């Protein structure tokens, strides 16, 4: 009886090790989440540009998410339009791409008059966020989001 129990225990341990090895192989072989690829040209060279989301900045200006066609693709980017002078120093705009494949990626830029971030290709599975925050405390002043 004890010999049978030892055989069963060894077999269970062997199966457990096999399952753990198979799980490790799957984890190692699984593709990693891809961060967004950023493009600098679309915000200033795209055609058919529209504002798809916006929010007012307290005291003047607008934080926006814009889209337009450049080459064969639609792109999305963040923009701060006509910010009040108080935003031209000490404030940062961040454009975030999230939810596409489980990853989150962002680009930030100091605000200096009307300011654009780099663009990402539009993807219906992503959600896009633009926010303006203070550079020193990261307190969000205004934000908006867009999910195509």
- On whether the pTM is more than 0.85, the answer is no
Nearest to 115 by CA among 125, 107, 123: 107
pLDDT score for 88: 86
Higher pLDDT, 100 or 117: 117
Q: What is the DSSP string of 28-90?
A: HHSPPPPPPP-BSSHHHH-EEEEEEEEEEPTTS-EEEEEEEEETTEEEEEEEEES--GGGGSS
pLDDT tens, residue by residue, 10-42: 544 444 433 333 333 233 333 334 457 899 888
The mean pLDDT of 33-62, rounded to a whole number, is: 88
**Average pLDDT score over residue span 40-51:** 92
User: Which of 110, 108, 103 lies closest to 87 in space, CA to CA?
Assistant: 110
CA–CA separation, 144 and 30 (whole Å) = 33
Q: How much of the chain exceeds pLDDT 70, in percent?
A: 76
Residue 73 has pLDDT above 60, yes or no: yes
User: What residue segments make up the domains of the chain, in order of their start?
Assistant: 1-30, 42-146
CATH class of residue range 42-146 = mainly beta
Q: Please give the distance of CA 86 from its chain centroid, rounded to a whole number.
A: 27
CA–CA distance, 121 with 41 (Å, rounded to integer):
12
**Owner of token pair 């923009």:** 79
């Amino acid at each position: 009886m004890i010999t049978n129990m030892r055989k069963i225990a060894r077999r269970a341990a062997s199966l457990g090790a096999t399952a753990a090895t198979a799980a490790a192989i799957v984890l190692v072989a699984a593709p990693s989440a891809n961060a967004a690829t950023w493009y600098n040209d679309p915000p200033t060279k795209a055609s058919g540009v529209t504002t798809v989301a916006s929010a007012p900045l307290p005291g003047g200006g607008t934080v926006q998410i814009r889209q337009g066609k450049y080459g064969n693709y639609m792109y999305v980017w963040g923009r701060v339009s006509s910010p009040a002078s108080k935003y031209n120093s000490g404030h940062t705009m961040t454009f975030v791409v999230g939810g596409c494949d489980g990853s989150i990626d962002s680009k930030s830029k100091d605000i200096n008059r009307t300011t654009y971030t780099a663009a990402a290709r539009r993807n219906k599975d992503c959600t896009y966020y633009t926010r303006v925050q203070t550079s020193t405390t990261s307190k969000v002043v205004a934000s908006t989001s867009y999910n195509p």
